[in-house]
Structure 1
Amino acid sequence: MDLKEVMKSRRKTLSISQLDLAEMAEVSLATVKDIERGKGNPSLATVNKIIEVLGMEIIFQVRQTV
């Protein structure tokens, strides 16, 4: 799953509207809509605000090579 799918799925699981998510994350409604449509290019700070509201976190790890 990519960001748009994870974000939309989690938002729906929590029964949060796009407008509610935007207000709680202190981002614009257009930003939320663009991300969920795969059209946005949000900064990491914006993504972090949104996933905080959704009760998620970003984990960075070094890729394993075979």
Structure 2
Amino acid sequence: MRITQKQLADMANIGINTLYKIETGQANPTLESLQKITDILGLEITLQVKKI
């Protein structure tokens, strides 16, 4: 998929600066924001219980 950061941010209804911070590990995004981004990119989020 060829998509710019601006297009992805617009489609996910987040700011371009927020997207940049998510990509660089400078943000603590909500699960909702991550879900929007992964849906657009055709990915899925999987949560696993940590074994202790």
TM-score range relative to shorter protein? 0.7 to 0.9
Question: Who is 1:61 aligned against?
Answer: 48
Corresponding letter in the other structure for 1:58:
I
Residue in structure 2 matched with residue 35 of structure 1 by the alignment: 22
Task: Give the Å deviation of 1:60.
Answer: 2.0
* Percentage identity across paired residues of the two chains: 41
Q: How many residues align?
A: 52
Unmatched 5+ stretches in structure 1: 1-13
Alignment root-mean-square deviation, CA = 1.5
Gaps of 5+ in 2: none
What residue in structure 2 maps to residue 21 of structure 1? 8
TM-score, normalised to structure 2, is 0.82
